Amino acid sequence: MVVGITGDKLERVVWMMDESRAESLPSDWERIDRLYSNLIELCSRRDLEQVILDPIPCIKKITSQIKENDYEVVFDLTGWLGGLVTELFPKTNLITDFGLSRVRQVDTPLLTTTGYRQKCSEQRIQEIAQVVKGKKVLILDDVSFSGGTGLYVEKKFGIANPDHAYLILNIGRLGSKDGAADVLKGRNVFAGYQIKSPNDDGWHLKDLHHHPRLKEAFQKSVELQKIMGYNGDTSSEVRNELKNLDTLNLLFPEVFNVEEIMRLVAEERFILSGGNPPENSYHAKNPFLWASKYFAEQIDREKVMRNQDEICSTLIELDQLCPGYNQIKTKIDAYMAQIGRDAK
């Protein structure tokens, strides 16, 4: 239960470590936890409660909730909980190659959501649809703020009455719209941890340091935050900076243009949130958090300016300690499988 929540303003920031756990060795987790604690101290606002959320208790709680079910198909949208799933449900058909990535327009400080990029081809979609037909299904993911991804999976594959399990579930509202818990009402929905927007917001800690040119990108982001602080978040100075292709390619190394989006739309691999994106605009998956206007509003910009050297060195060390799930897959799978065995 979420406690201490009043009114409709932001009161708490939840820093999510799920991807960081998946991409680092368990032997390094204690060191990583200390670095994250120090990082949050260096940049956080004093008027907001800060919660660094370890996903392992969330995983164990979900495990206790789902272990008695006999799922025939499990969609692991995280891509890294397969060790747990196969231990709990050895006969299940585990699907890990379907997923959606949020794409934002990055040549505007608002970082408006463009839509969602689909991970696999339409041919693979049809293959999966045949596998899940008439089966008992679990949709498993790390976080659900809006419930939209879960609903999309249901609709895309024609799944009737699946169960849902999330490490983190939003039980609040998103402006005038329902949050995930209400959107998914009527289904079995299991949660390891609950947040309640708008009083809570959350960020993946990995998105603070996952970048191929981390030092340069962080320094450029600090410059951008200075401009935002002096001239306003949506000032012409900020907009001009974000129209510079060199800046965009530095901050968002996977940036792509409208033509690429429309090609993916034609291939049924991209779901637009609204109409077609603006002509000559640029877009990217998982934008670097330090360049985000909304992220900047939830940290202390002055502290970031004062502590930028220590923050930068901490980010570099964290990134070195998180080599990626594919690099350490056997270790993470074994760790998750042990959680499954312990729950039996």
On the CB side of 215, CA atoms within 13 Å amount to: 6
If we measure between CA atoms, which residue out of 51, 46, 41, 44 comes closest to residue 17?
51
Q: Please provide the size of the chain in residues.
A: 344
pLDDT surpassing 90 at residue 281: yes
Q: State the amino acid at position 139 in one-letter form.
A: I
pLDDT at 334 over 70: yes
Mean pLDDT of 60-64: 98
Which letter does DSSP use for residue 185 in this model?
T
Amino acid at 172: G
- The span from the CA of 74 to the CA of 161, in Å, is 13
Task: Give the residue-averaged pLDDT of 39-53.
Answer: 98
User: pTM of the predicted model, to two decimals?
Assistant: 0.94
Other beta carbons within 10 Å of 156: 15
Tell which wins on pLDDT, 292 or 33.
33
Determine the pLDDT at residue 1: 29
Q: Cα separation of 289 and 295, whole Å? A: 6
Question: What domains lie within the chain, and their CATH numbers?
Answer: 12-338 (3.40.50.2020)
Give the model confidence (pLDDT) of 88-102 as tens digits.
999 999 999 999 999
CA neighbor of 5 nearest in space, from 241, 201, 178? 201
pLDDT, residue 3, reads: 33
Is it the case that residue 11 has pLDDT exceeding 70? yes
User: Considering just the CA atoms, what is the radius of gyration of the chain in Å?
Assistant: 20
Q: Can you read off the two tokens belonging to residue 280?
A: 């000559």
Alpha-carbon gap, residue 221 to 40, rounded angstroms: 17
What percent of the chain lies above the pLDDT cut of 70? Answer: 98
Q: What is the pLDDT of residues 159-191, one digit of tens each?
A: 999 999 999 999 999 999 999 999 999 999 999
How many C-beta atoms lie closer than 10 Å to residue 247's C-beta? 19
List, for residues 188-219, the tens digit of each pLDDT value.
999 999 999 999 999 999 999 999 999 999 99
